[in-house]
């Protein structure tokens, strides 16, 4: 009878060469905000199985790399940015998720200001797409995108990470539009503004918008110093 006992690699010297037939990759869900829409940066797949479909930006993790290093490498190579908010979200390991073989991928999401991005085109097409308009993608990337979007929704309700998507100066209208785009819901204008102003995390710049088709609004900036001092108080916005 075959033994059901399997040696533990952490306690025994076992033959493991047959297990090194699995690749590890990272996939980056790069969120941006433009024209009051939450967007994601995608590249057109050139694999015949997914010809014409869009995919996330990713790559195989090199033998000498840490996971986070690989994710930052992908982000830097495609956007030119190296100092952005990034968070590891989840591992996806379905057996047949990649046509080349067994590839386990670790998903990250990052938040960038689109105005600061310099897209590195290389060979394939690279574009910003509205998250709400995406329905089909290559591989299991729609599942990965949806999972990261849900994590972002959770995060913006407990931490002010959304400010990474805004320009340095912004109006309360822009701030509310951002939250509505991320959460995919309408928020009461009065309650939203009252809530944020009461947290004293915004600095009034004593400036107004310029060259806008509507009544110019006051401009603010996010006070990161105050957030560092008061982050324990930011425990649920509760709109």
pLDDT digits (tens, 9 = 90+) for 104-117: 999 999 999 988 88
Q: Is the pLDDT of residue 78 over 50?
A: yes
- 178 and 153 belong to one structural domain: no
Residue 7 resides in a domain: no
pLDDT at residue 116, as a whole number: 82
Residue 84 resides in a domain: yes
pLDDT at residue 28, as a whole number: 97
Domain C-terminal end among 158, 189, 214: 158
Q: Reduced to 3 states, what is the DSSP secondary structure of residue 118?
A: coil
- 185 and 115 belong to one structural domain: no
Q: What is the CATH number of the domain that holds 135?
A: 3.90.79.10
Q: Quote the tokens at residue 119.
A: 């897209």
Q: Which H or E run includes 25?
A: strand 23-34
- The whole-number average pLDDT for the span 72-78 is 92
Q: How far apart are the first and last CA of the chain?
A: 62
Residue 94 CA to residue 104 CA, distance in Å, equals 7
Q: Quote the tokens at residue 239.
A: 């709109």
Q: Which H or E run includes 75?
A: helix 67-79
Count how many Cα atoms sit within 13 Å of the Cα of residue 199 in the half-sphere of its side chain.
Answer: 26
- 81 and 196 belong to one structural domain: no
Q: Is the pLDDT of residue 186 over 90?
A: yes
Residue 42 CA to residue 52 CA, distance in Å, equals 12
Per the structure, the complete domain to which residue 102 belongs is given by 19-158
Residue 57 resides in a domain: yes
Q: Is the pLDDT of residue 235 over 50?
A: no
Q: Is the pLDDT of residue 140 over 90?
A: yes
Domain C-terminal end among 158, 190, 223: 158
- 31 and 67 belong to one structural domain: yes
- The whole-number average pLDDT for the span 215-237 is 70
pLDDT at residue 191, as a whole number: 92
Q: What is the CATH number of the domain that holds 213?
A: 1.10.10.10
- 62 and 132 belong to one structural domain: yes
- 61 and 95 belong to one structural domain: yes
- The whole-number average pLDDT for the span 1-18 is 65
- The whole-number average pLDDT for the span 15-29 is 86
Q: What is the largest CA-CA distance in the chain?
A: 81
Q: How confident is the model at residue 128 (pLDDT cuts 50, 70, 90)?
A: very high
- 145 and 34 belong to one structural domain: yes
- 137 and 42 belong to one structural domain: yes
- 173 and 140 belong to one structural domain: no
- 151 and 173 belong to one structural domain: no
Residue 163 resides in a domain: no
pLDDT at residue 82, as a whole number: 81
Q: Describe the crossing of helices 189-198 and 172-183 by its angle, rounded to 10 degrees.
A: 110
pLDDT tens string 25-74? 999 999 999 999 999 999 999 899 998 899 999 999 999 999 999 999 99
Residue 225 resides in a domain: yes
pLDDT tens string 191-202? 999 988 888 789
- 35 and 148 belong to one structural domain: yes
Residue 238 resides in a domain: no
- The whole-number average pLDDT for the span 151-167 is 91
Domain C-terminal end among 107, 139, 158: 158
Residue 181 resides in a domain: yes
Nearby residues of 121 by Cβ (< 8 Å), 6 or more positions away: none
Q: For the chain, how many structural domains are there in total? A: 2
- 107 and 66 belong to one structural domain: yes
């Amino acid at each position: 009878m075959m033994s059901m006992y399997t040696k533990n690699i952490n306690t025994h010297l076992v033959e493991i060469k047959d297990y090194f037939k699995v690749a590890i990759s990272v996939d980056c869900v790069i969120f941006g905000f433009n024209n009051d829409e939450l967007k994601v940066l995608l590249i057109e797949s050139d694999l015949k199985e997914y010809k014409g479909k869009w995919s996330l930006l990713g790559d195989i993790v090199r033998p000498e790399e840490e996971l986070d290093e690989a994710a930052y490498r992908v982000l830097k190579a495609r956007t030119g940015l190296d100092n952005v908010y990034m968070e590891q979200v989840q591992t996806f390991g379905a057996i047949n998720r990649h046509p080349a073989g067994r590839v386990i991928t670790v998903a990250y999401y990052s938040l960038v200001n689109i105005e600061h991005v310099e897209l590195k085109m290389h060979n394939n097409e690279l574009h910003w797409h509205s998250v709400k308009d995406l329905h089909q993608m290559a591989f299991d990337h729609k599942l990965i995108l949806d999972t990261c979007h849900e994590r972002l929704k959770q995060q913006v309700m407990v931490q002010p990470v959304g400010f990474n998507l805004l320009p340095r100066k912004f109006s309360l209208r822009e701030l509310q539009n951002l939250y509505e785009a991320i959460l995919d819901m309408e928020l009461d204008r009065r309650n939203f503004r009252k809530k944020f102003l009461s947290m004293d995390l915004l600095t009034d710049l004593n400036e107004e918008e310029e060259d806008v088709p509507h009544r110019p609004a006051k401009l603010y900036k996010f006070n990161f110093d105050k957030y560092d001092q008061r982050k324990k108080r930011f425990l649920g916005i509760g709109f």
